[in-house]
Amino acid sequence: MNQSNDLMGKIVSLCKRRGFVYPSSEIYGGFANVYDFGPLGSLLAKNIRDLWIKKMVQEKEDMYLIDGSILMHPKAWEASGHTVAFTDPLIQCPVCKKRFRADQLEGWQLKKDNQTGQWNILKQGSLICPDCQGNLIPAVKEFNLLMATEVGSVAGEKTKVYLKGESCQNVYLDFPLIRDTMAAKIPFGVAQIGKAFRNEITLGKFLFKVREFEQMDVEYFCAPEESDKLYAEWKKIRFDWYVKDLGLSESRLRWRQHSSEERIFYAKDAWDIEYKFFEDFEELEGVHNRSDYDLKQQGKFSGKTLDYFDPISKKRFVPYIIECSGGLQRTFLALLAENYREEMVKDDKRVFLKIKPALAPYKAAVFPLVANKPELIQKARSVFNLLKPELMTFWDDIGNIGKRYRRQDEIGTPWCLTIDYQTLEDDTVTIRDRDTMKQERVSIEDIKNWIREKLE
């Protein structure tokens, strides 16, 4: 196994062992490529979402947050082109029935018509099934990725609807409501964190490609002539998010521009932020100038005009949209890949997550030195109760202190507080730092400020 596969294996194992990510429906043998966030993962995911909202909404004055429903009018997906063009090229092995994306098979070259969703074969490659070595038939099907369900209570009168293929679509439908209810002046943006569902053909790589995931989207509405300038500004904001806010290393991030063939026909420009998760650079977020296509299409299909009247220039226009669409699961995975650390401490292997304290699931852990001394337990409980209302704090009185440190290191808890015999005399505790393993004594009345300062 090479080093990066090895790292992926270690992360998958850590995620399950320590309650970050569980395979969905495990008692039924699992449900392929669907995952649950466990207790630790839910906290990490929440911290990512909260920080994203703080940076993209709270610290800006022209951004509005919405939380749209998963189900929408089915016409919206016709308007967006998803019912026709949201396709991948499918080849199914007639022997083992395994399904593959033709464009990912050895030697194959295909080109998609982004309007019709049709895939044209430019070059036919290997016809050997990568899984069973059986013979493949070169019949490529356009496989639509949308997931459908039905609504309605009367049998036989149900309407086919779609789970969101991309989270952003209801931002476009809500545009006139947001414009009017918020008296929003262009340029302004809408932020939304929402679920998306895709019938992906090839999955795997843990959280990287899954059937159900969350997207963290900014849809920024602007005048057409301002879109290039604002697009450049949003590219910078989004790159800074990964480096400055999340702490990913710049050397593992890069920009990749869509080629003219890859770029969707209506986009004015399209770049992806890629991250070197393990071996290769892969997409983390798309930052695209989508022109006025989305609002025009939804306007055409709904019969409403989705435009904006600029009171200063007295001009009416359909706004351009700059979209920044990142995946929560991929961000989560990137944070684990970036921050997983192993080191030898004497003869013992120490695993720790060197994640930014603001993102760590628990900020502090409180340990009574021993579990059988009521006065120590009582004092430790008072420290725990002091911190708990303000910070996610973990209580642990099982095993020796060394083992408790290791358990917290593995889940990224930045500070472990031990209540010992000296605490009973002078009201101080030891605070041990996850990264340096150094300890200092801090008075109980200063702990909150001490942690607050470090968190800033």
Tell me: does residue 198 bind ligand GAP (CB under 6 A).
Answer: yes
Per CB under 6 A, which of residues 281..300 are in contact with ligand GAP?
283-286
Question: Structure tokens of 230?
Answer: 């604002």
Tell me: does residue 213 bind ligand GAP (CB under 6 A).
Answer: yes
Which CB, 293 or 367, lies closer to ligand GAP?
293
Euclidean distance between CA atoms 19 and 36, whole angstroms: 10
Tell me: does residue 170 bind ligand GAP (CB under 6 A).
Answer: no
Of 83, 192, 215, 430, which one interacts with ligand GAP (CB under 6 A)? Answer: 215
Euclidean distance between CA atoms 252 and 242, whole angstroms: 10
Q: How many residues sit in the footprint of ligand GAP (CB under 6 A)?
A: 18
Tell me: does residue 416 bind ligand GAP (CB under 6 A).
Answer: no
**Considering the complex, what minimum distance in angstroms separates the CB of residue 406 from ligand GAP?**
31
**Considering the complex, what minimum distance in angstroms separates the CB of residue 447 from ligand GAP?**
38
For 288, list phi and psi in degrees, rounded to 5.
-130, 145
**Considering the complex, what minimum distance in angstroms separates the CB of residue 214 from ligand GAP?**
8
Q: 318-357 mask for ligand GAP (x: CB under 6 A)?
A: -----x-xxx-xx---------------------------
Euclidean distance between CA atoms 31 and 151, whole angstroms: 24
Which CB, 79 or 447, lies closer to ligand GAP?
79
**Considering the complex, what minimum distance in angstroms separates the CB of residue 37 from ligand GAP?**
13
Which CB, 197 or 367, lies closer to ligand GAP?
197
Question: Structure tokens of 210?
Answer: 């899954």
CB atoms within 10 A of CB 290: 21
**Considering the complex, what minimum distance in angstroms separates the CB of residue 201 from ligand GAP?**
10
Q: How far is CA 391 from the centre of its chain?
A: 23
CB atoms within 10 A of CB 111: 14
Of 11, 168, 171, 222, which one interacts with ligand GAP (CB under 6 A)? Answer: 168
Which CB, 275 or 362, lies closer to ligand GAP?
275
Tell me: does residue 194 bind ligand GAP (CB under 6 A).
Answer: no
What's the sign of the alpha-carbon dihedral 290, 293, 299, 301?
negative
Tell me if 361 sits within 8 A of 44, measured CB to CB. yes
Which CB, 323 or 338, lies closer to ligand GAP?
323
Which CB, 194 or 414, lies closer to ligand GAP?
194
**Considering the complex, what minimum distance in angstroms separates the CB of residue 282 from ligand GAP?**
9
Euclidean distance between CA atoms 429 and 300, whole angstroms: 66
Q: Which residue's structure tokens are 């968190």?
A: 455
**Considering the complex, what minimum distance in angstroms separates the CB of residue 197 from ligand GAP?**
9
Which CB, 146 or 391, lies closer to ligand GAP?
146
- Residue showing the smallest CB distance to ligand GAP in the complex: 327
Question: Structure tokens of 220?
Answer: 């920024």
**Considering the complex, what minimum distance in angstroms separates the CB of residue 130 from ligand GAP?**
20
Question: Structure tokens of 138?
Answer: 């070169």
Per CB under 6 A, which of residues 91..120 are in contact with ligand GAP?
none
**Considering the complex, what minimum distance in angstroms separates the CB of residue 173 from ligand GAP?**
14
- Which positions touch ligand GAP (CB under 6 A)? 166, 168, 198, 200, 209-210, 213, 215, 283-286, 323, 325-327, 329-330
